[in-house]
Amino acid sequence: MINRVVVAMSGGVDSSVAAGILRDTGHEVVGIGLQLVDSLDSVGTERSCCGIGAMEDARRVAESLDIPFYVLNFKEAFKASVIDYFVSSYLKGETPNPCVPCNKVIKFEELLRVAKGLEARFLATGHYARVVHDRPDGRYQLKKGVDPDKDQSYFLYPLSQEQLAHAVFPVGEMTKKETRELAEGLGLKVHDKPESQDICFIDGCSYAEYIEDNNGSRFTPGPILDESGSVIGEHRGLPFYTVGQRRGLGLKIPKPMYVTAIDPESNSIYVAPHGHLKREDCVLLDRVNYIATTGPKMPVRVTARTRHRSPEVDAFLVPLDEGTAHVEFDEPQEPTAPGQSVVLYDRDTVVAGGVVKRRD
């Protein structure tokens, strides 16, 4: 049976190969590129992702694969669900993950709606992850990509069962090396295109500079306090800092200090030497999304990833009420910044994930 599949094409090698795989397995493929931001950054440089150059790369790939390709303007939705979230989170002293709402809202809500309007059965992306539907309870499972160095399941944990039912990740069974080799075999000029290493909508400036430009006002400096509550310096504004940061504090003391907490109410930052960092036995998660189950009633044994590149650690997932849970670590961990996502696994399967909530 031939299925129509919409492929979100960014002009990179992963989504390009995803389109090629689906074409070669007999699907009717429609490529769609998304214009999410203005093509030029604040200093007039062409953006590395989602700009005109990236869309032209995607268009050339589509021509090479002989599939239709369209570009949709999603700038308004992207600003509302991703950029505004990113800016407001930093202003509250949090450290957000903008890729998480981008995947959930932009790709698997907005673009999926377009795909359904085109009578496409599936929406495919170039994520290194897998979807499996082989359980007697009928639930879709989100699993890690087979390449441990490229696994992107961390960024997909908020997807609902309805979204997973329509999701296809063709490169999830491949390593990055295999993806590039297949792209070269398909004759795609993007086979050796460098990967984007930073947030796609920020080029040519720091996070704080970007937030300041979008906030429309200058940040307010405030005190940097040590463990005793003594003022030992002045910060430039909360968005310049995140929990665990060491560089850029501007302190005139001999030993290195690390940010341990950010208090937006008092506009203060707290620091301590590395050996005095208070390690966490537990974090509180908000906006918890369960994938492997409808929601456990009892604690569940898991491994926890507190950042995308962090190793998994043994823990218990302890459900509290709808949408909130504790993650209790077997061994105390370095502090996790409020706003960060923690994703919970059972081996290669995503059990659940949520956002770290600041404790009162």
Is residue 50 flagged as an active site residue? no
Q: How confident is residue 49, by pLDDT bands cut at 50, 70 and 90?
A: low
Mean pLDDT of the chain: 91
Catalytic-role residue among 49, 50, 99, 200:
200
The residue annotated as part of the active site, out of 50, 102, 205, 282, is 102
Residue 220: is it exposed, middle or buried by C-beta count within 10 angstroms (0-12/13-18/19+)? Answer: exposed
Count of beta carbons in the 10 Å neighbourhood of residue 159: 26
Judge whether residue 40 has pLDDT over 70.
no
What CATH architecture applies to the domain 4-192? Answer: 3-Layer(aba) Sandwich (3.40)
Q: What percent of the chain has pLDDT over 70?
A: 94
What pLDDT sits at residue 158? 98
Topology of domain 280-356, CATH: Elongation Factor Tu (Ef-tu); domain 3 (2.40.30)
Q: Among 38-42, 202-206, 270-274, 350-354, which stretch is predicted with the lowest mean pLDDT? A: 38-42
- Segments making up each domain of the chain, as ranges: 4-192, 219-276, 280-356
pLDDT of residue 194: 87
Span of 39-48, 62-71, 73-82, 316-325 with lowest mean pLDDT: 39-48
Counting Cα atoms < 13 Å in the Cβ hemisphere of 267 gives: 9
Find the DSSP H helices in 123-165.
161-165
Instruction: Take residue 207 and report the two structure tokens written for it.
Output: 């996070």
CATH class of 219-276: mainly beta
Backbone angles phi, psi at 301, to 5 degrees: -75, 130
Beta bridge partners of 129: 144
pLDDT digits (tens, 9 = 90+) for 220-264: 999 999 999 999 999 999 999 999 899 999 998 888 999 999 999
pTM for the model stands at 0.92
Residue 44: the pLDDT is 47
